[in-house]
């Protein structure tokens, strides 16, 4: 058992991508991480007590004077992610449709994602795109610690960490085909997600509801059906073939899944890649339940009144289907009681002095408590 762990660790530490030169590429990715962090800070700022007063580009362009800091930071963050995912989707789609192996995917031959693993040359264009994707998601991971922690901090931490590890691993292990498919499937629904969140309070109701419908459909089809049915399934059937194939053959009479013997013998990412892809799918299921909750709320009221899936503080809008503010404390209610009595007096006229005085006057128990306290002090 120990020998297997050592062999697996050594295999996963080896760079199998002929396009990768480890230290120069690591330096390049590090510089791009710093570039993305700086670009995001200049573009949308950071929701932090030390940085929130520093103006960003969107402060001058949008001039959101009627927003508080929480809403403004959320709005700016959504615009940043909308811009990135739109660019990333266009870039990934332009690269995917130049690949000859995509026709095999259309025919259901999913094993082409890993078959001939060491002979899959990603090319200079994909190498450049991959380095930018890694830098962006690692910068998003870093940015979580620069902003005020939200209720979904650990969920987003798990998502960004799993995505960053998958990108780095597939880049080093030469699993770029499945990496390209995963990111392409995610970018489509992410464009609709952040566009909906950005325009919820700034676009006409029909536009935001149309974007939300596109989000729900694309999320269900791409992330809940195609992603697990193609990417997760292929990774599990390939990495765990010695365990999964006999079980499926016994239960369903399934044929063995075509795998690359060299990749299985090397053990490069065979066990870790399916686990990380499965973690992403679990997060998708959690977020899809939130989308369903927002959809139910929107059917009863309006999308503009449903709040946001992500919580920006410990107290979210009352209208949110996910988060609700705590009720006012007893101290606040006691402070408001005299003012309420005055309002009643003004509204009912001079004949209601008695009822108003009763409302504002302390009760007999309160008087007894006060007298007892004075006697104790004496």
Residue with the bigger pLDDT between 343 and 111: it is 111
How far is 315 from 354, CA to CA, in rounded Å? 39
Residue with the bigger pLDDT between 324 and 117: it is 117
Instruction: Please give the pLDDT value at position 6.
Output: 60
- Global pTM value: 0.78
Instruction: Please give the pLDDT value at position 378.
Output: 45
Buried b (16+ CB within 10 A) or exposed e, 346-365: eeeeeeeeeebeeeeeeeee
User: For residue range 89-128, what is the model confidence (pLDDT) as tens digits?
Assistant: 999 999 999 999 999 999 999 999 999 888 899 999 999 9
Q: How far is CA 229 from CA 5, 236, 274, in A?
A: 29, 11, 13
Count, in order, helices (H) and strands (E) of the chain.
Answer: 16, 0
Instruction: Please give the pLDDT value at position 305.
Output: 59
Q: What percent of the chain has pLDDT over 90?
A: 56
User: For residue range 255-282, what is the model confidence (pLDDT) as tens digits?
Assistant: 999 988 878 777 677 788 899 999 999 9
73: number of Cβ within 10 Å: 22
């Amino acid at each position: 058992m120990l020998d297997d762990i050592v062999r697996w660790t050594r295999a996963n530490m080896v760079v199998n991508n002929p396009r990768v030169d480890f230290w120069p590429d690591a330096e390049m990715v590090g510089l791009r991480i710093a570039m993305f962090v700086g670009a995001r800070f200049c573009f949308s700022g950071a929701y932090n007590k030390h940085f929130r007063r520093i103006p960003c580009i969107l402060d001058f362009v949008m001039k959101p004077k009627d927003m508080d800091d929480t809403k403004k930071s959320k709005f700016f963050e959504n615009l940043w992610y909308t811009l990135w995912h739109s660019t990333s989707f266009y870039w990934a789609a332009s690269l995917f449709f130049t690949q000859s192996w995509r026709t095999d995917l259309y025919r259901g031959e999913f094993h082409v994602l890993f078959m001939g693993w060491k002979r899959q040359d990603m090319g200079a264009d994909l190498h450049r795109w991959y380095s930018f994707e890694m830098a962006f998601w690692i910068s998003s991971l870093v940015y979580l610690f620069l902003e005020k922690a939200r209720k979904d901090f650990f969920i987003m931490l798990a998502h960004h960490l799993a995505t960053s590890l998958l990108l780095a691993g597939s880049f080093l292990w030469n699993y770029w085909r499945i990496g390209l498919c995963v990111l392409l499937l995610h970018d489509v629904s992410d464009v609709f997600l952040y566009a909906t969140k950005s325009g919820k309070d700034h676009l006409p109701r029909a536009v935001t509801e149309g974007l939300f419908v596109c989000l729900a459909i694309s999320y269900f089809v791409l992330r809940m059906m195609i992603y697990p049915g193609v990417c997760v399934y292929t990774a599990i059937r390939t990495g765990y073939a010695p365990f999964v194939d006999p079980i499926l053959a016994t239960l369903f009479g399934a044929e063995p899944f075509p795998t690359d013997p060299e990749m299985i013998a090397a053990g490069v990412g065979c066990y870790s890649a399916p686990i990380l892809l499965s973690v992403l799918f679990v997060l998708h299921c959690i977020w899809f339940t939130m989308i369903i909750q927002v959809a139910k709320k929107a059917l009863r009221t309006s999308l503009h009144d449903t709040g946001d899936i992500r919580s920006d503080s410990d107290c979210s809008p009352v209208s949110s289907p996910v988060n609700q503010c705590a009720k006012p404390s007893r101290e606040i209610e006691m402070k408001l009681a005299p003012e309420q009595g005055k309002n009643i007096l003004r509204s009912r006229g001079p004949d209601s002095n008695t009822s108003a005085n009763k409302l504002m006057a302390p009760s007999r128990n309160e008087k007894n408590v006060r007298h007892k306290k004075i006697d104790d002090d004496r």
